[in-house]
Structure 1
């Protein structure tokens, strides 16, 4: 929570709802106008607000007081709730679907959290998660420059908490997975936002909005890595590095489950 209180101060400078990702969240959720939906770990509300503006009757649940205050400031018409996913402040079968983007790898006990999500959803309700896998993280070329950060903050959490296993243990039925490859025009500048634009990692504002960088275990490694990226952009070596890590397994993953 302290990390996201810190990140939340300038989060909206570089993070916003990406139109394509929004469209896929809505596609997989299949919301209906007369139902109720929940955004788990809604942050500053970017995707919650975008879905609400698209006609989805949704509310947000967020632990960070700083992020929640920003969300309320941006969209006071939406119901925002302070709380943990492990103890959702609603009765059983209160919602007809839920989304969870870039959250569960930060949870101390994601199985307990998704059991709570399972409890508050109606039968056959959908849960849509957008996150990534350990294997996807291992194929990011960012590993070339920040190996310790990527191993400890980007890959290890997904090795501990494999999404489909967590959902299965929480009682969900897994329906499908859809891989996502970072697009050059990505608007939400999360970890692999520089896949096609490595110069993005040179901007401290962008790095400060990414939890892996903000909570990196070795800030000297980050400084060295940023300088190496700058040097490799200048020399052209960056193109060889990017080609070296190319693969066809996607960069992130939509996981769709049903209660």
Structure 2
């Protein structure tokens, strides 16, 4: 599965640049409601796992090796085929992972099978995400690649059999370095270590990225970026398309 290869390659710096943001964590934990037991599918290094997590499911051994001491045990398996009994936990959650799954229908089917009460998914709306200034103005070629794996929110809702959709605004000082986290800190995208923790960059060759990043560097040096995006500089948070889906079973 291409997602495993991606995370085996970016996994080395992932825990450094992808530290859970407490405000996003609060939203995710709230979405889990009263679930006493949670299984985290596509768990990565364990970001945003609540204390009631009983098991993590993750195909990349590089990622699971970086789980903090005291984390829930991790099972090396893919979302599409989880070797667990039906109704194994009150809730199943899948955070910023569904766009890496090779068979979305199978993965959602497995969430349905292992969860008794609720499924919580953190994802992004590709229609909004692709309008993010970094992609639209500087990296349209990378955005086109992202479109090949992005999952429409409506499709997820349908596969879940219905779900509520909550907007997750990204704070300007977000500590979790995913793609849109640095929307008010554009110079961060010029840092190779930051880019190494973002799957879109890891999956896109440098020859595609470098022309756009060079233009961003020039626009930051000249002040053009700050003039063009003056409206962002006073904002505390931005809707970059991130969404929490909650499905009650």
Q: TM-score scaled by structure 1?
A: 0.86
Displacement after TM superposition at 1:214 (Å): 0.8
1:152 — aligned with what?
145
CA distance in 1, matches of 2:55, 2:74: 6
2:82 — aligned with what?
88
Displacement after TM superposition at 1:148 (Å): 0.7
Give the RMSD, CA atoms, in angstroms: 2.1
Structure 1: tracts of 5 or more residues without a match? none
1:239 is aligned to 2:226: yes
8 Å contact from structure 1 (residues 38, 95) kept in 2: yes
Equivalent residue of 1:91, what SS? coil
2:22 — aligned with what?
19
8 Å contact from structure 2 (residues 14, 197) kept in 1: yes
Structure 2: tracts of 5 or more residues without a match? none
1:59 — aligned with what?
55
Displacement after TM superposition at 1:187 (Å): 0.6
Q: 1:77 to 1:239 in 2, by over 3 A?
A: closer
CA distance in 1, matches of 2:8, 2:123: 21
CA distance in 2, matches of 1:185, 1:229: 20
Displacement after TM superposition at 1:221 (Å): 2.8
Q: TM-score scaled by structure 2?
A: 0.89
8 Å contact from structure 2 (residues 40, 92) kept in 1: yes
Displacement after TM superposition at 1:174 (Å): 2.4
1:188 is aligned to 2:179: no
1:78 is aligned to 2:103: no
| Aligned pairs (5 A) from 1:1-259 | 1-32=4-35, 35-48=36-49, 51-52=50-51, 56-71=52-67, 74-122=68-116, 125-143=117-135, 144-153=137-146, 155-158=147-150, 161-169=151-159, 172-216=160-204, 218-242=205-229, 250-259=240-249
| Deviations, residues 124-160 of structure 1 (Å, cap 9, x unaligned) | x11111111111122100121111111112x3322xx
8 Å contact from structure 2 (residues 28, 48) kept in 1: no
Identify the structure with the greater helix proportion: 1
8 Å contact from structure 1 (residues 39, 99) kept in 2: yes
Q: 1:250 to 1:202 in 2, by over 3 A?
A: closer
8 Å contact from structure 1 (residues 193, 200) kept in 2: no
CA distance in 1, matches of 2:12, 2:185: 25
Q: 1:58 to 1:22 in 2, by over 3 A?
A: farther
8 Å contact from structure 1 (residues 164, 174) kept in 2: no
